[in-house]
Amino acid sequence: MTLLRQVLLGAALLGALWLYHVVTQQRIALAEARADTAIIMQRDLADQLAAAKASEHIVTRYVDRVRVVYERGATLTKEIPVYVTAQADAACSVPVGFVRVHDAAAANDLPAPAGATDAQPSGLALSTLAGTVVDNYVTCHAAIEQVKALQSWVHANQATP
């Protein structure tokens, strides 16, 4: 083999080696980029899983608390006749004015101007009024538990990066 052929063959081998090195470096860089992306995705998915578990726990706790609120309300409603007897219904006349103020408060509104008819009996039994008040408080306590659960959920999701 002539010297020229040996030099050309050596140059070709060096060129092939350099090309192999460049291609290998690009593959390594691409693999590292994919690995970094996979690590970031894994962290994001782990955070999402932790948030989902926290949310599930908060929702379960909220549902349990609201169930207790409604059970207590049902018990109170059943007990109204014990505390507000038929004699108390007969002895107490709920005036129209009270019904107007109560209904306005329930609607978060102002009642119509007071009038002479406000002092007249409304025909509403005291026990019915007690039932309405119990229902209103049950709704209020259920809303309070909902707000507490939402606050817990927000705090749990703020803590998770």
Confidence of residue 112 (pLDDT cuts 50, 70, 90): confident
* pLDDT the model gives residue 159: 58
The pair of structure tokens assigned to 60 is 């379960």
Query: What is the domain extent for residue 34?
Result: 3-159
Q: What is the total count of domains within the chain?
A: 1
pTM: 0.64
* pLDDT the model gives residue 55: 80
CB 81 within 8 A of CB 157: no
Q: What percent of the chain has pLDDT over 70?
A: 98
* pLDDT the model gives residue 28: 94
Confidence of residue 161 (pLDDT cuts 50, 70, 90): low
Residue of higher predicted confidence among 157 and 26: 26
CB 69 within 8 A of CB 138: yes
